[in-house]
Amino acid sequence: MPIDPSALGFKSAEYENHFDQRDVMLYALGVGADSNELLFCTENSSGVSLKTLPTFAVVAIGTPPLDLWMAAGRFDPSQLLHGEQSVELFSDIPTKGTIVSTTEIVGIYDKITAAVVVTETTAKDKETQKVLFKLTSSAFIKGEGNFNGDRGPSAARVTMPEGDPDLVVSYQTQQNQALLYRLSGDRNPLHSDPSFARLAGFDRPILHGLCSFGFTGRAILNTLCDSDTSRFGLMSARFITPVFPGDRLDVKIWKQENGGLFRTESQRGDVVIDFGMFKTRA
C-alpha cells in the first residue's frame, strides 16, 4: 500500500525512552564536541558540571512506535530522506531521566514525485511531568507522490539575507562521524552500509541529516547563546544536500534581535542546511 492520506491526525500512544549521562556525552561526541567543550563531554572534570546539548532532543525521545509509520502506509525505506527539522525547548534537558512522548502525523503532502509526511512530537519529563520540548520533522519519500493529495506549502518559512553573514563557524567532520553518531540511536544502514547507500543513489554512506543539524546547533549555541543552554529556544531548518563523513561544515549566521538566521555549507560550497531560523528562549 502506498502513502495513506487518511493517516493525517494519527496520534501514537505515549512511549518512553530512558537516557543517562553516557548517552548525553556520546551524543555530544557524535556531533563533533571535543576537549574544547568539556561542558558537554565529561561528567567528572574539575570545575565542570555536565550539560546536555539542546539538539540532544532529537534522540532523547528514542524511536516512535512502529504503528505510526504503518499508519502512514508502505514505502521503500531506502527512498526516505529527512526534509526539515525543528526543535523547540521550553526547559533545559536533564543529563539523565526518562522522556515520555507522543507523536502525531500533522501533515501529508503530495509533491507529485514524492510524498512528505510531517510529524510533531511533544516530550515531557516522566518524573516531573513537565513538557521539555517539541519536535517537528518532515520525511521526504521519493516515488510515493501523485496520490491527488494536498500539495502543501511551497515556500520556505524564512527569507534568507543576501549579504555576507555576521559569523562563520567551521567544523571538520571525521571519516567515522556517521559510525559514531549512529550509536545514539539512528541505525539506518544508509549511513553505514555501502550497498544500501547505492540503492538510495549514493556512491557511499552519507552523514545523518540530524548529525549535521547537531553540528549546526553547536555553532549556534556557542555563538548566539555564549554556550548557555538556558538561552537556546527554537531551531528550525531544511535539509538540502547530503553531507559525506569527512566533509567540512561552514555554518553561516546572520544575527537578529533575539536570535538569527543560518545556513550550513560544505567545503565544496554546497548548501546542506538552509532556511535556518533560531530564536532564544523567552
Q: Residue 27: what pLDDT?
A: 98
Going from the C-alpha of 187 to that of each of 28, 63, 220, 278, 282, the distances in angstroms are 17, 11, 26, 28, 35
Residue 251 Ramachandran class (φ > 0 left, ψ -120 to 50 alpha, else beta): beta
Q: With 0-12 CB in 10 A as exposed, 13-18 as middle and 19+ as buried, what is 211?
A: buried
Selecting among 32, 73, 185, 209, the annotated active-site residue is 209
Claim: this prediction has a pTM higher than 0.85: yes
112 is catalytic: no
Average pLDDT score over residue span 81-90: 94
Q: Residue 191: what pLDDT?
A: 95
Contact 261, 276 (CB under 8 A): yes
Average pLDDT score over residue span 92-97: 98
Q: Residue 76: what pLDDT?
A: 82
pLDDT surpassing 70 at residue 118 = yes
pLDDT surpassing 90 at residue 148 = no
Provide the residue ranges of all domains of the chain, joining segments of one domain with +.
5-280
Q: For residue 10, name the pLDDT band (cuts at 50, 70, 90).
A: very high
Selecting among 191, 220, 259, 276, the annotated active-site residue is 191
191 is catalytic: yes
164 is catalytic: no
Q: Residue 149: what pLDDT?
A: 87
The beta strands (E) that lie in 12-79 are given as 15-19
Domain 5-280 carries which CATH code? 3.10.129.10
Contact 143, 76 (CB under 8 A): yes
pLDDT surpassing 90 at residue 90 = yes
Going from the C-alpha of 121 to that of each of 38, 51, 213, 218, 282, the distances in angstroms are 30, 23, 17, 22, 21
Element (DSSP H or E) covering residue 86: strand 80-89
Task: Note the pLDDT tens digit of each residue in 151-194.
Answer: 888 767 789 999 999 999 999 999 999 999 999 999 999 999 99
Element (DSSP H or E) covering residue 68: helix 66-72
99 is catalytic: no
| Distance from C-alpha of 168 to C-alpha of 257, rounded to nearest angstrom | 18
Selecting among 206, 220, 253, 273, the annotated active-site residue is 206
Selecting among 3, 82, 83, 186, the annotated active-site residue is 186
pLDDT surpassing 60 at residue 1 = no
What would the DSSP string read from start to end of 206-220? PPPHHHHHHHHHHHH
Task: Note the pLDDT tens digit of each residue in 220-272.
Answer: 999 999 999 999 999 999 999 999 999 999 999 999 999 999 999 999 999 99
Q: For residue 66, name the pLDDT band (cuts at 50, 70, 90).
A: confident
Mean pLDDT score of the chain, rounded to an integer? 94
